[in-house]
Every structure is written in structure tokens, then in C-alpha cells.
Amino acid sequence: MSDPVFFEPPQSVLLKNIVCWADADLERGDENIEILGVAPVEDAGEGTLVFFDNVVYLDQLSQTTAAACLVAKKHVSKVPDNVAVLVCKDPYRSWAQVLAKLYPLAMSPVDIACPTDVSPRASVDTSAKLEDGVIVEAGAVIGANVSVGAGTVIRANTVIGAGVQIGRGCVIGPNTTVQHSLLGDRVFLHPGVCVGQDGFGYAMGLAGHFKVPQVGRVIIQDDVEVGANTTIDRGANRDTVIGEGTKIDNQVQIGHNVVIGRHCVLVSQVGLSGSCTLEDFVAIGGQSGVRGHVRIGAGAQVAAISSVNEDLPAGGRYGGTPAKPVKQWFREVAALRKLAERGSGA
């Protein structure tokens, strides 16, 4: 792989340790060989570990010169004989578990200035309460009556508004703004995130559009990660809530009063209109939009570039504009294609 300039190269580790970290079974190979690093399957060399779970790269797998490969049982026969085989139920998840051990610093937004406490070039109000081990980088501004838990890092040029409470072990990325918000433990906000600003609310009329005061909060529960330049509006007359374990990609817009359940996944450029509700374990593909006051049931999945205009039941897979069950969507697309082909041949 390319030289990982921004991360310390991992120390060599015996394959038997990799087996343990990956929750894998060693199907073939010597558990005492040394693994020196990781690489994509097509760029692997001596001493490297790779993973395979996408048949698009089957040709590269058959030619890999890696030392070892994480792979599902059904693809073991495709791994060259001289490569150690670690069989896993979910190779990608196992790969992630191994990388977390080899590159622990890559598990959260990286240091900017690497201070060990509060930078003298940060502005911290005297009424703010910072527990032990809090790091505040240069240029950060922390307002009155803010509370920050132990081990949390506030990166450079970040603004924390008055009264905000941030839990323990959080990382608030550079150039981030947090106001009118309560954050739980181990919350990661990547660079440029804006949390707690006004929701978009106006009483519209012929005399002009009268601004509706937004007096709610944003509640972000434990273990939430929010990607760069995502915006989360505070509630209008109740709270905007992000449930524990939810993962949000870059450039996502979350409107006022939105309630997102536990362990949801929102991919880049998703837009959630005000007062919509996502139950637990909902996943929404990139560039999809959800209309206000709509509810999406637990475990539902919405394909990329879809428009959700009405409630969706739990557990289903949906796509299209407007979103509908994927089988129906595929039939409609196929029928439209046939009509177009007939028209072009007329």
C-alpha cells in the first residue's frame, strides 16, 4: 500500500493475534508468521494482510501475493495456495477490527496541534467546567457555563456556545460549532459540523415571512459519529434527538424536531425535513430526502437518490421517487425501459 504518512506504521504482529482480533478461524497457514502491515488485495506484498468480500475483485484475489487473507468460507478456494486463509463470517467487519488494533489513532478525528491540556491561545469562559484530561486546542472558544467531560478533545477554532454540555471521551473536530446542545459520551464531530443552530421556520404570508423562534435543543446520545460539514438544527418547540450509536456521513442536513433512533446510518447528502422520525437501525442511502412529519419504521432501508414522501413500515427495503418497496420499484423501472425501447424503435 502507499506509505501511510500520517499514521505510525504498525509494529509486526503474529498471525495468531490477527486471528483473535478478527474473530476468525485459521483455515490454512502458519499462525506464527509475522504480519508487517495491511494492503488492498491488488497491491499486497510480502508480510501484508488483505481482505476479500466483493466479487468485483475476484481476479485480483487469485493473483494476490499477500501473506494472509480475511475471507468468507465460500471464497476460500479462490485464495492462492501460498496465502494463509482466515475464515470470517463478515470479512469487512473483521478487517475493521484488525485495523482498529493496528491503527488506534485512526479511530477518531486526528490531532491538529497535539496539545496536552488547554492551549493558552484558546478562550475559555471562567464559568466553564472542564473535567480532568480535557484538551482544548488553539483558537477554540468555550462559552459561559459549558460543561466538558474528562478526556474530551476540543479541536482548533471550534466554538462551544453557552450552556452546552459535552460528555466524556468526545472529539469535537476543528471549525465546528455546537450550541443549544447536550452531547453524551464518545461523540465524534468531524471538521465543520454545525449543531444547534436555528431550525428553518417561518410563518409565511403576503406581508412577508415572520421568523418563528426555535426554542428547542439538540440531544446527541452516546457513541454517535457525525461527518464533516453536516448540520443538525435545534428543535423548534421540542428537541432534535440523535440516538445512541448512530453514524452520520458528511454533508447531511437534519432539520428541527427530527428524531433519529439508535444505530441508524445516514449516508452523505441525505436531507431530513423537520419533525420526521427514524426508528432504530434505519439506513438511508446518499442524496435521499425525507419529507417532514414522516415516520420510517425500525430496520427499514432506503436506497440512494430516493424521496420518502409518506410513512414506511419497519423492516422493508425501499427506493425510487416516491420511495416504494424495491421489488415494485424495479418492476416500474423495467416497464418504463421497455416502453422507451418500443418508442425508439417505432
Is the pLDDT at 6 greater than 80? The verdict is no
pLDDT at 106: 82
pLDDT at 287: 97
Rounded-to-integer distance, Cα 274 and Cα 231, Å:
13
pLDDT tens, position by position, 324-336: 999 999 999 899 8
Angle (CA) 218 168 254, round 5° = 25
Cβ contacts of 116 within 8 Å, gap of 6 or more: 135
Q: What is the residue-wise DSSP string for 150-208?
A: TT-EE-TT-EE-TT-EE-TT-EE-TT-EE-SEEE-TT-EE-TT-EESPPP--EE--TT-
- Provide the grid cell at 305: 437518490
Structure confidence at residue 341 as a pLDDT band (50, 70, 90)? confident
Q: Would you put residue 298 in left (φ > 0), alpha (ψ -120 to 50) or beta?
A: beta
Rounded-to-integer distance, Cα 45 and Cα 68, Å:
10
| Range of weakest confidence among 209-218, 250-259, 288-297 | 209-218
- Provide the grid cell at 330: 424495479
User: Is the dihedral angle over the CA atoms 160, 165, 171, 176 positive or is it negative?
Assistant: negative
Judge whether 256 counts as a catalytic residue. Answer: yes
pLDDT at 113: 62
Domains of the chain, with CATH numbers? 13-107 (3.40.1390.10)
Distances (CA, A) of 180 to 44, 139, 195, 339: 48, 21, 8, 53
Distances (CA, A) of 19 to 62, 87, 139: 22, 9, 44
Q: Return the closest-CA partner of residue 83 out of 67, 70, 59.
A: 67
Rounded-to-integer distance, Cα 220 and Cα 295, Å:
19
pLDDT tens, position by position, 157-184: 999 999 999 999 999 999 999 999 999 9
pLDDT tens, position by position, 193-227: 999 999 998 899 999 999 888 999 999 999 999 99
Of 75, 256, 263, 293, which is the active-site residue?
A: 256
Rounded-to-integer distance, Cα 14 and Cα 10, Å:
12
pLDDT tens, position by position, 264-279: 999 999 999 999 999 9
Rounded-to-integer distance, Cα 122 and Cα 140, Å:
5
Rounded-to-integer distance, Cα 299 and Cα 278, Å:
9
- Asked whether 73 and 87 are in contact (CB, 8 A), the reply is yes
pLDDT tens, position by position, 42-54: 888 889 999 999 8
pLDDT tens, position by position, 126-152: 999 999 999 999 999 999 999 999 999
Structure confidence at residue 57 as a pLDDT band (50, 70, 90)? confident
Residues facing residue 241 across a β-bridge: 219, 259
> How confident is the model over 101-122, as a mean pLDDT?
80
Main-chain phi, psi angles of 76, to 5 degrees: -60, -40
